[in-house]
């Protein structure tokens, strides 16, 4: 199968108005959207749209929630002038763990018939139950794909909605690195990175990951609130959700002139 598992570390470094670091171990599913049912058939510990130790639910993605994620993602890309009919789309995402999931960000890596990474869709969820898509056409610079996008979605009460993101994807056979810089006023406010190594999709590897990182999705939502409390205690400025404009439904496409070099 092309679908596989990813294990590694997520790292956040806030640079203003003070330096604040955090990192913790994580794992993700890397699901080829055309073989989700095959993963369901082959593995005992992962199910599609059903109950299991790990579950992949189409409705956990897109807005309105998807029924057939592969078809609806291709339809979404087509609205942006991107015909992905013969492409391979790999979704890097958290699964549901014993019924619970929270995905701060998922990544759709869209490769053409020659297996070239052509489009990256970043699906962002916030703790208010809102979802937003950023669709990027990255340029390849050496071995890294780079694109930029304006920020127009409320994520954290300790960051306003100004500025934008620079996204870098380093995609290689042994691992995947995704780095996102949130930039405001010409400087980096927050640097986030995922450093992940690839593992074959198997029940044995799923069990190993469950033992190393139990309840990873519950841990993620708990860490979000714990670090929010610590930022508040240190005096980080608080931005209320009610004071921020609601996200624009349309997807942003990064233009070549906006790509960070």
Cβ contact 131:125 at 8 Å = yes
pLDDT band per the 50, 70, 90 thresholds, residue 252: very low
**In the predicted structure, residue 111 carries a pLDDT above the cut 80:** yes
Residue 229, CA atoms < 13 Å, CB-side half-sphere: 5
Quick: pLDDT tens for 153-176: 877 666 777 889 999 999 999 999
Query: Do strands 117-125 and 131-136 pair parallel, antiparallel, or not at all (unpaired)?
Result: antiparallel
110: left (phi > 0), else alpha (psi -120 to 50), else beta?
Answer: beta
**In the predicted structure, residue 215 carries a pLDDT above the cut 60:** yes
Cβ contact 125:220 at 8 Å = no
Residue 185's pLDDT is what?
A: 84
Biggest CA pair distance of the chain: 51
Task: Round the average pLDDT of the chain to a whole number and report it.
Answer: 88
Q: Which residues of 192-226 are buried (b: 16+ CB within 10 A; e: fewer)?
A: bbbbbebbebeeebbeebbeebeebbebbeeeeee
- Domain with 171, as residue range(s), is 4-258
The residue-averaged pLDDT of 180-186 equals 90
Handedness of CA 239, 245, 249, 252 (dihedral sign): negative
Residue 155's pLDDT is what?
A: 75
Residue 261's pLDDT is what?
A: 35
**In the predicted structure, residue 120 carries a pLDDT above the cut 90:** yes
Residue 63: both structure tokens together: 């807005």
Strand order in the sheet with 46-48: 46-48, 54-56, 96-97
Quick: pLDDT tens for 54-64: 999 999 999 99
Residue 241's pLDDT is what?
A: 64
Q: Give how many domains the chain has, as a whole number.
A: 1
């Amino acid at each position: 199968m092309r679908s596989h598992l990813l294990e590694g570390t997520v790292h956040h470094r806030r640079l203003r108005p003070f330096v604040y670091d955090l990192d913790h171990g994580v794992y993700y599913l890397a699901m080829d959207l055309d073989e989700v049912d095959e993963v369901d058939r082959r593995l005992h510990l992962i199910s599609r749209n059903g109950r299991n130790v790990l579950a992949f639910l189409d409705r956990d993605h897109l807005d309105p929630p998807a029924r057939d994620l592969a078809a609806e993602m291709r339809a979404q890309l087509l609205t942006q002038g991107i015909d992905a009919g013969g492409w391979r789309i790999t979704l890097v995402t958290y699964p549901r763990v014993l019924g619970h999931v929270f995905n701060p960000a998922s990544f759709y890596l869209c490769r053409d018939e020659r297996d070239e990474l052509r489009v990256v869709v970043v699906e962002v969820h916030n703790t208010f139950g809102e979802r937003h898509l950023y669709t990027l056409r990255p340029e390849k610079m050496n071995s890294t794909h780079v694109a930029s996008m304006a920020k127009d979605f409320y994520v954290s009460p300790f960051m306003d909605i100004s500025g934008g993101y620079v996204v870098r994807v380093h995609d290689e056979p042994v691992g995947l690195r995704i780095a996102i810089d949130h930039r405001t006023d010409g400087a980096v406010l927050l640097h986030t990175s995922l450093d992940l190594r690839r593992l074959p999709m198997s029940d044995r590897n799923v069990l190993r990951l469950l033992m190393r990182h139990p309840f990873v999705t519950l841990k993620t939502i708990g860490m979000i609130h714990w670090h929010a409390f610590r930022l508040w205690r240190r005096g980080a400025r608080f931005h209320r959700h009610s004071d921020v404009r609601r996200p624009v439904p349309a997807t942003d496409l990064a233009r070549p002139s906006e790509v960070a070099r």
